[in-house]
Amino acid sequence: MKRMQKVSLTLPVLLSILVLVGCASMGPPGNVKNVTCSAKTITWDVAKEAEISNFACSLGKFGMDPSLIFTMDLTNVTDKALRYRVNVFLEDMDKAAGHLVPRKGKPPVVEPGQTASVKIPFLKTETISDKILVVVQAMAE
């Protein structure tokens, strides 16, 4: 009887571990395409109203400072003009940066089906983060 209890307790634990490992090894969600970044882990929280394409991170200079620079193309996949808030968190470095997309305009929106390019630099950052969180939110009208 004790052996049966051990089996019934270990089976749910093993299944939970397999689910967690499976989720951790999954790639980006369907609305994120063409990722070129050597970070070990990128976690995505992208609004259903947006699609990210050509996401890249690279080391370079921004102004006079060495920087880790993120670039992406953000497409409005709805039938309404929207503005977005993009945040990138370097979780292992305790750094964050954000951007409104588009930053300017009258009104400042991305029209349906249109794509806006975004560049987010982390000034004085000379290494690529191992743990990145990317958040894209559609802003309320």
Nearest to 43 by CA among 68, 26, 22: 26
Q: What is the pLDDT of residues 123-132, one digit of tens each?
A: 999 999 999 9
How does pLDDT run across 48-66, given as a tens digit for each residue?
999 999 999 999 999 999 9
Q: What proportion of the chain, given as a percentage, has pLDDT over 90?
A: 75
What the chain holds in terms of domains, given with CATH numbers, is: 28-138 (2.60.40)
Q: So what's the pLDDT on residue 26?
A: 56
Dist. CA 17–CA 20, nearest whole Å? 5
> DSSP 3-state assignment of 6?
helix
pLDDT in tens, 64-118: 999 999 999 999 999 999 999 999 999 999 999 999 999 998 999 999 999 999 9
The predicted pLDDT at position 28 comes to: 82
Question: Helix, strand, or coil here: 8?
Answer: helix
Shortest CA distance to 110 belongs to which of 66, 130, 72, 80? 80
13, pLDDT greater than 60 = no
